[in-house]
Amino acid sequence: MLKRFLSATPMAFAATAVMAAAVIIALAGPVLAGMGQSTPGQIGLQLPATQVAAEINKFHDFVNIIIIAITIFVMLLMVYVMVRFSEKKNPTPSKTTHNTSIEVAWTVIPIAILVMIAIPSFKLLNLQYAYPKPDLTIKATGYQWYWSHEYPDHGGFAVDSIMLQDEDRQALIKKGIPAPRLLAVDNEIVVPVNKVVHMLVTAGDVIHNWTIPSFGSKLDAVPGRVSATWFKPEKEGIFYGQCSELCGKDHAFMPIAVRVVKENVFNDWAAALKAKDRKKAKEILEKVALEQAGTSKVAEAAR
Ligand SMILES: [Cu+2]
């Protein structure tokens, strides 16, 4: 009996568990996720806009399938044992204390699962620390409670991003520019599409954290230390993040907004800021924001 139970039942359980896990991931993941910001009812990660974020999403789904499969497998096994080997159904219990093959299996299978997880995990780490040659470098400094972004290779101008209050958001929304609550800022960071951006991240007072989930970027901003990450956005649009290190009373109100635009638009914007023409830079951005809002509406309607 024990032999038959060991050979047939766990295999069937395992197969059911893996299939159920795969179905849950496939249904819940991409359907509810948003691009560049979270969406109501979202379950999965935000949709990726860089290769690193895409790999993080894949790795997350892969590990989730394993987790769900193991949970379902153990649960079914416990239910089976409780029913099949209850005192009523099995009045004289077996005196077995050792079973070499099952002991080998419960040692080898977990090791194999960990190796299966370790290989893509190290590959992903390697990609995150690859630092391809930069086309652009931006230095982000976190302050209580806003972000300042310097462009050292474009004349060193700086863009301070302060969260928009409701009145200013409504003014933008009236113009047709989306300005989500707790995410929209007065001065967005602008980067060209398909270019490698090196982010240098530091802080001026306490520890903050610079992050854009759709880029797969998250880095502590530590006073007196400069950390680095990189991203290469493959999609145009607006991508939001929020300070992710508890930094004081307005921690929840220092969002990060990165606008990814065509290279010529970026060049015009950077040239305007270099010439200290903030009004022109703002006009360029508003125009792009309107265009991008239009295309995302068209994309939504086509869905
Ligand atoms: Cu902060």
- Expressed in angstroms and rounded, the spacing between residue 205 Cα and the centre of ligand 1 is 10
What gap in Å lies between CA 212 and CA 215, rounded to an integer? Answer: 5
What's the predicted TM-score (pTM) here? 0.82
Task: Give the per-residue pLDDT at 184.
Answer: 93
- Expressed in angstroms and rounded, the spacing between residue 248 Cα and the centre of ligand 1 is 7
Under the banding of pLDDT at 50, 70 and 90, the label for residue 303 is very low
- Expressed in angstroms and rounded, the spacing between residue 245 Cα and the centre of ligand 1 is 6
Is a pLDDT exceeding 70 seen at residue 301? no
Does 93 or 300 have the greater pLDDT score?
Answer: 93
Is a pLDDT exceeding 80 seen at residue 162? yes
pLDDT tens per residue across span 208-241: 999 999 999 999 999 999 999 999 999 999 999 9
Nearest to 151 by CA among 134, 163, 166: 134
Percentage of the chain exceeding pLDDT 70: 86
Percentage of the chain exceeding pLDDT 90: 76
Q: Which residue is it, tokens 């949709």?
A: 47
Q: Average pLDDT in the 139-161 region?
A: 94
Under the banding of pLDDT at 50, 70 and 90, the label for residue 247 is very high
What gap in Å lies between CA 122 and CA 303, rounded to an integer? Answer: 36
- Expressed in angstroms and rounded, the spacing between residue 207 Cα and the centre of ligand 1 is 7
- Expressed in angstroms and rounded, the spacing between residue 246 Cα and the centre of ligand 1 is 6
pLDDT tens per residue across span 51-66: 999 999 999 999 999 9
Task: Give the per-residue pLDDT at 3.
Answer: 52
- Expressed in angstroms and rounded, the spacing between residue 166 Cα and the centre of ligand 1 is 20
- Expressed in angstroms and rounded, the spacing between residue 238 Cα and the centre of ligand 1 is 20
Is a pLDDT exceeding 80 seen at residue 296? no
- Expressed in angstroms and rounded, the spacing between residue 210 Cα and the centre of ligand 1 is 8
Q: Average pLDDT in the 3-17 region?
A: 59
Task: Give the per-residue pLDDT at 41.
Answer: 83
- In contact, 149 and 162? CB cutoff 8 Å: no
Nearest to 2 by CA among 80, 114, 117, 109: 80
- Expressed in angstroms and rounded, the spacing between residue 206 Cα and the centre of ligand 1 is 8
Task: Give the per-residue pLDDT at 14.
Answer: 64
- In contact, 43 and 32? CB cutoff 8 Å: yes
Task: Give the per-residue pLDDT at 19.
Answer: 72
Task: Give the per-residue pLDDT at 122.
Answer: 97
Q: Give the burial string for 254-285 (b: 16+ CB within 10 Å, else e).
A: bbbbbbbbeeebbebbbebbeeeeeeebeebb
Ion ligand 1: residues, CB within 5 A, are: 208, 243, 247
- Expressed in angstroms and rounded, the spacing between residue 244 Cα and the centre of ligand 1 is 7
- Expressed in angstroms and rounded, the spacing between residue 173 Cα and the centre of ligand 1 is 26
Domain layout of the chain by residue ranges: 2-128, 136-302
Task: Give the per-residue pLDDT at 265.
Answer: 95
Task: Give the per-residue pLDDT at 132.
Answer: 95
Under the banding of pLDDT at 50, 70 and 90, the label for residue 43 is confident
- Expressed in angstroms and rounded, the spacing between residue 119 Cα and the centre of ligand 1 is 34
Is a pLDDT exceeding 80 seen at residue 26? no
Q: Average pLDDT in the 278-295 region?
A: 89
Is a pLDDT exceeding 60 seen at residue 33? no
Architecture of the 136-302 domain: Sandwich (2.60)
- Expressed in angstroms and rounded, the spacing between residue 149 Cα and the centre of ligand 1 is 14
Average pLDDT, the chain: 89
Residue 207 burial (CB < 10 Å; 0-12/13-18/19+)? middle
- Expressed in angstroms and rounded, the spacing between residue 270 Cα and the centre of ligand 1 is 26
- Expressed in angstroms and rounded, the spacing between residue 142 Cα and the centre of ligand 1 is 6
Task: Give the per-residue pLDDT at 114.
Answer: 97
Q: Average pLDDT in the 34-55 region?
A: 88
**Does the domain formed by 2-128 have CATH 3.40.50.300?**
no
